[in-house]
Amino acid sequence: MSGNITLDWAAYYAGQGLRVFPIKPGQKSPPLITDWPKLATSDAATVSAWWALWAQANICVVMGAGLVDIKTDVKPDANGEESLAKWAASSRITLPPTWSFKSSGGGIHRIFRCEGDLPNKVGVLPAVDIRGGSVYAVFPPSLHPSGNLYEWLGCSPADLPSGPAPVPPELFFLLRDDSRAPLDVPAEVIEGSRNDTLFRLACKLRRAGLEEDEMLDALLTVNENRCVPPLEASEIETICRQAAQEYENDPLIQTIRALAKEHPEGGRWSYAELSEACIEKIGVEPFASGKECGKRLADKLAVELRVRDGIVVRWALRLGARGRGVEITF
């Protein structure tokens, strides 16, 4: 121990591999170094030198690179802790203990480790924010502008000396794709069902618009926390590649591409006509109903067609006696 409690804690965080830097005592900004996103470090010598120069400096820890802060607040119209608890109950999970301390908004900062980076999002749930990249959090025992110290709440490094807990898979997906729907991931995915479960999950994430690298981060988290025993990383990569190819192999995508090629001027097709075209060209029925087709297009399939193929699809159009259908243009 150095005799400087702030330095001791900064050195401890750095020893956990967290990137730290100093800011003015009793403040949330400004940093005492320039270009903190680049210069923040876990190097022990640099950390010691900084706190030798600014002995009472507050400690900032950079989020991202495998670290995320789930921050709740208490607002006039929403309580973040209640929002998070309600979501956890609907997802049938219990949030694991992890490093936690009070937020200035009356809520809690929960620090988790995760595979890959997560985006910054305000209001992912009512009064719940994600701080996942290119931001920092002021950590205990720094001095708050109110004059109080930042204090651990419930779970501290003394309880988890090995570092923050891994983010639960369901929470990872909520943070990653902003989906409010509970994910049907068994608490334990046993041998014999691992590949099928993870492939189905990867396909669901692909349909939600995640790229292959994002899917890989998500599946690695599930594999580590739910699969017994976990699959090799190479197997997870294969599953992600297969799911990423689902777009290319989708009969509806193939049919729309074919129609766009045959009709460069564009055109309109009822859902029934679109289904018949798919059966004729691909040999399979692409959807059970027009409602299902519209939902699939609305659930980001139309976005993918525009981004990947330059094809613009409008759906749920009234086509007179032909019923509802789609319009395909370039």
Model confidence over 29-47: pLDDT tens digits?
889 998 898 999 999 999 9
Indicate if the pLDDT at residue 7 is higher than 90: yes
> What does the alpha-carbon distance between residue 4 and residue 51 come to, in Å, rounded to a whole number?
9
Give the pLDDT score at 131.
85
The listed range with the strongest mean pLDDT (113-117, 155-159, 188-192) is 155-159
Give the pLDDT score at 178.
44
Indicate if the pLDDT at residue 246 is higher than 50: yes
Burial (Cβ within 10 Å: 0-12, 13-18, ≥19) of residue 103 = buried
Give the pLDDT score at 179.
44
Map residue 235 onto helix, strand or coil: helix
Give the pLDDT score at 37.
87
Q: What is the greatest pairwise CA distance in the chain?
A: 83
pLDDT one-digit tens code per residue, 64-103: 877 899 999 888 888 999 989 988 887 677 788 999 998 8
> What does the alpha-carbon distance between residue 101 and residue 160 come to, in Å, rounded to a whole number?
14
Question: What strand order describes the sheet that includes 312-318?
Answer: 267-270, 324-329, 312-318
On whether the CB atoms of residues 50 and 34 are closer than 8 A, the answer is no
Least confident of 86-95, 143-152, 200-209, 297-306: 200-209
Indicate if the pLDDT at residue 10 is higher than 70: yes
DSSP string, 77-130: TEEHHHHHHHHHHHTT--PPP--EEE-TTSSEEEEEE-SS----EEEEETTEEE
Query: What's the pLDDT band for 199 if we cut at 50, 70, 90?
Result: confident
Alpha-carbon separation of residue 118 from 43, 133, 303, 313, 319 (angstroms): 24, 7, 22, 30, 43
Indicate if the pLDDT at residue 183 is higher than 90: no
Give the pLDDT score at 182.
44
Helices then strands, each counted (H, E), the chain: 13, 15
Give the pLDDT score at 141.
93
Rg of the chain on CA atoms, in Å: 25
Share of the chain above pLDDT 70, in %: 90
> What does the alpha-carbon distance between residue 212 and residue 295 come to, in Å, rounded to a whole number?
23
How does the average pLDDT of the chain come out, rounded?
Answer: 84
